[in-house]
């Protein structure tokens, strides 16, 4: 679903607290994602101050939330909570940079990053795989550049599809952009925290 911006978040070895813990299952009991059901991107997933997940303001396990999900996925859809590592496509964190986003010229929300690092020149992020980054008090390991998929083609506000976005990532950046990261040392991350590449 569409994510939310937060000013502060706890980070553990499983990434952001509460991130992607609510799964949508289709009528076959398979995980349904926005890659297949792009209308899920029109729903707003949020976490309350108490740590409870909501969908468009409704508790995730309410009839109202289920009705919204079924309108996007189909009448056989269900919701479940799961906090294991398998809920991530690759690794718990995806980190993008403002330089690469600016280089490509599209809305950075299309990448669905957990963190956007500001003040990065151009495509500098492409030098970071296999490096550790300190983000505030958190240390992450940048494993690889992320292979991008069809989800980048949907406008985060209108859901209108533009295949040219993914084609541009493929032609200009070999199809990879932003960094798949694991967490080496957890802690709290705040908007505006300094970020450094560790030797």
Residue 196 belongs to a domain:
no
78 and 97 co-located in one domain: no
Indicate the pTM of the whole model.
0.92
Q: Are residues 69 and 106 in the same domain?
A: no
Helix, strand and coil content of the chain, in percent to the nearest 5, comes to 25, 35, 40
For residue range 59-105, list pLDDT tens digits in order: 999 999 999 999 999 999 999 999 888 888 889 999 999 999 999 99
Read off the pLDDT of residues 3-25 as tens digits, 9 standing for 90 and up. Answer: 889 999 999 999 998 888 999 99
Number of domains in the chain: 2
Q: Containing domain of residue 179, as a range?
A: 93-190
Distance CA 19, CA 114 (A): 9
Of the residues 87, 109, 126, which one is the last residue of a structural domain? 87
Taking the C-alpha atoms of residue 179 and residue 146, their distance in angstroms, rounded to an integer, is: 6
Please report the beta strands in the chain, taking only residues with DSSP state E, as ranges in sequence order: 8-12, 15-16, 22-25, 45-47, 53-55, 58-59, 78-81, 93-97, 115-117, 131-135, 138-147, 176-185, 187-190, 195-198
């Amino acid at each position: 679903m569409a994510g939310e911006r937060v000013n502060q978040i706890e980070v553990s070895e499983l990434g952001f607290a509460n991130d992607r813990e609510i799964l949508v299952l289709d009528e076959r009991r398979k995980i349904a994602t926005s890659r297949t059901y792009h209308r899920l991107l029109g729903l707003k997933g949020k976490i309350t101050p108490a740590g409870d997940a909501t969908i468009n303001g409704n508790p995730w396990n309410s009839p109202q939330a289920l009705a919204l999900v079924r309108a996007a996925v189909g009448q056989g859809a269900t919701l479940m909570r799961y906090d294991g590592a398998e809920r991530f496509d690759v690794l718990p964190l995806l980190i993008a940079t403002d330089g690469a986003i600016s280089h490509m010229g599209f809305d950075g929300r299309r990448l669905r990053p957990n963190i956007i690092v500001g003040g990065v020149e151009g495509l500098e992020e492409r030098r970071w795989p296999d490096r550790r980054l300190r983000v505030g008090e958190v240390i992450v390991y940048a494993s690889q550049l992320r292979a991008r998929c069809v989800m980048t083609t949907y406008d985060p506000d209108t859901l209108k599809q533009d295949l040219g976005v993914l084609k541009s990532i493929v032609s200009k950046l070999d199809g990879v952009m932003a960094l798949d990261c694991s967490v080496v040392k957890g802690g709290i991350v705040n908007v505006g925290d300094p970020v450094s590449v560790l030797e």
